Amino acid sequence: MDTTLQDPLVGQVLDGRYRVDARIAVGGMATVYRALDTRLDRVLALKVMHPTLAADGSFVERFIREAKSVARLAHPNVVQVFDQGADGSYVYLAMEYVPGCTLRDVLRERGALQPRAALDILEPVLAALGAAHRAGFVHRDMKPENVLIADDGRVKVADFGLVRAVDTVTSTNGTVLGTASYLAPEQIEHGTADTRVDVYACGVVLYEMLTGDRPHAGDSTATVLFKHLHEDVPPPSAAVPGLPYALDQLVASATARTPDVRPHDAVALLALARQARGALSPDQLDAVPPGAVGPEDRDISDDRTSVIPRPLTSPAPGLAPAGGTPPWPLPAGGDGAGPAGPVQHTSRLQSPPPLPPRRRPGLLGRGPLMVVAAVLLVLGVTAGVWYINSGQFTRVPAVLAKTQTQATQQLQRAGLDLGKVRHAYSDTVKRGTVISSDPAPGARVRDNASVSLTISDGPEMVRVPDLQGDRLDRAKARLKADGLEPGMVTSAFSDALPKGFVISTDPEAGSSRHAGSAIALTVSKGSPVDVPDVTGEDLAKAKADLAAAGLKVKVAAVQINSEYDKGLVAAQTPASGKQLAEGDTVTLTVSKGPEMVEVPDVTGDSVDDATKALEAAGFKVDEDRGLLGLFGDTVKDQSVAGGETAPKGSTITIQIR
């Protein structure tokens, strides 16, 4: 069954912007989807908090803190956060989409890596964490699941969901939030976390890359925590003979149980990693030593971020009961509750085995027989449990982005059968490669189970229909029916098509475009109409002239002063000579007559002074010199006497003598 199809968010648009296309991964706090930002037309990853947690203020605060913290880290090896928001009960982060796989997928498929490959992954991880540390943040949940390896080889650190400021107290209630296999001793014992807890986790990740398995294994979470507290991480060469001493030294430095002995942050560890690389020869870097744990042998149990009880007191080394169970309080019964608070992780902490019952008097003679019978019973039950649980389950291999042939071969190597093969369009997954599998990669299934594959047919392509001559509303409906979207609508004159009918499309008819693409439409405005000049006309005549040209008329509410008499058309918009479509509107402004202005008295002034004064008052000036004033420079008289009024813009004649 394709679980993606059952997800209610798939196919929805969050916040009116993010179209959810497919589910990528599910975690303890959130689900990650591949989505399309419809505003910017880009593919991104949408991390949506589980609605049940969105009601918890502390979880929402942590979610928003992740967005704000990562947004401050402009680093090429950090998954970028674009946006944060909420839509109803859904709280989300919009993040950079990194097509590829996680380091966990690589380890699950390949097992141990060559030293060069391990360092090639470790160094960009440390560079990303170094940027976070220098910005004042601690990741707190470094593990292979949070290391993304893009298809082009880029390495990026993801999931800053547990990020905290360096000086922030991280635990006050006897629990620690994180992943047991990668927790530093001080996180387990005291709940404290600074940059050195990320250094410790990176040391564990490096050990896992070099050997194919985690350094501390156990049949319960409590056992793993106890080993982190009281056992050093062994040198990788103990598991993989032949690994160089420089790599042992690098792992030992990063995973020192005393925080003060470790490099103080990821930048310092990066410097040590580069020194270690420089100390290795090309043969040592590329060697594949014997003895490494392969993908079929390693412990691939689920390592989810979880709330883990801390010991109430520090257990002393060497006081662990038989079987490795730590001596701090453990939850009794099946409800997962204990003195340290509720347990909120997938596998419960294992309780100590019950004490054997006291022997009653009268049964001493049968004691040895009962002991043998009990041992045989335990062995029988154990053998039965072993038979039921071993050899019958496996994990679905990572087949995403593989061709159908490659995916089928991987399934066969894992002892699984190929189930149904479906096909679907995809804008992001290459044609002929796997979009998804059901069950998903990493899922625990029985041997010989069937795994269905969904193969990409590439982007869905649609031919642009011929819409020329269609009315605009019908053209839009046809585009939507064909899986396209109406785009920008522009207008143009057309002698062939009446107003409101489609002239052309962009792209043109017959072109192929992705489904959902926007198609621009050019719509006819009809034949062009030349706007006549009606300024200076009586308003009634102006309206009649415009109506005869097929145009509508609007009269402006405000009248203006103009050279035209009151009641005549003083101005028109658009002006004469412009072209409009039939039925378009011309706005007319009516004159309220010329503005009357007082004429300054300039008699006796020089010609220059008189001209400046009259022009400043809004008049034009004309000179009348006659025969006697050819060489004069004094104003003898003016056509309108000073102190009287005249229309602004009219001409005042001055006589010069």
The span from the first CA to the last CA of the chain, in angstroms, equals 109
Q: Which CATH number fits domain 528-590: 3.40.190.10, 3.30.10.20, 2.60.120.10, 3.40.50.12780?
A: 3.30.10.20
- In 417-538, which residue ranges form alpha helices assigned H by DSSP? 472-481
Does domain 101-313 fall under CATH 3.40.50.300? My reply is no
Tell me the per-residue pLDDT of 617-631, one tens digit each, with 9 for 90 and over: 999 999 988 776 677
Beta strands 434-438 and 585-590, pairing class? unpaired
Beta strands 518-524 and 485-492, pairing class? parallel
Does domain 398-456 fall under CATH 3.50.50.60? My reply is no
How does DSSP classify residue 537? S
Arithmetic mean of pLDDT over the chain: 80
DSSP 593-627: -PPEEEPP--TTSBHHHHHHHHHHTT-EEEEE-TT
- Domain borders along the chain are 3-96, 101-313, 398-456, 461-524, 528-590, 596-656
The 10 Å Cβ neighbour count of residue 220 is 19
Closest by alpha carbon to 166, among 98, 93, 266? 266
Which pLDDT score, from 0 to 100, does residue 375 have? Answer: 37
Angle between helices 115-134 and 266-278 (to 10 degrees): 150
Q: Which CATH number fits domain 596-656: 3.60.130.10, 3.50.50.60, 3.30.10.20, 2.60.40.10?
A: 3.30.10.20
528-590 and 596-656 have identical folds: yes
Residue ranges of the chain whose pLDDT lies below 50: 1-5, 165-174, 291, 300-302, 312-391
Tell me the per-residue pLDDT of 14-42, one tens digit each, with 9 for 90 and over: 988 999 999 988 776 788 999 999 988 89
622 tagged catalytic: no
Does domain 3-96 fall under CATH 3.90.1150.10? My reply is no
Active-site position among 141, 198, 303, 605: 141
Which pLDDT score, from 0 to 100, does residue 203 have? Answer: 97
Residues in the chain: 657
Q: Which CATH number fits domain 461-524: 3.40.50.720, 3.90.550.10, 3.40.1380.10, 3.30.10.20?
A: 3.30.10.20
Neighbouring residues of 318: CB distance < 8 A, sequence distance ≥ 6? 230
Which pLDDT score, from 0 to 100, does residue 124 have? Answer: 96
DSSP 157-195: E---TT-EETTS---SSSEEEE-GGG--HHHHHH----H
Which pLDDT score, from 0 to 100, does residue 293 have? Answer: 53
Q: What is the pTM of this model?
A: 0.48
Query: Pseudo-torsion of CA 102, 104, 105, 111, nearest 10°?
Result: 140
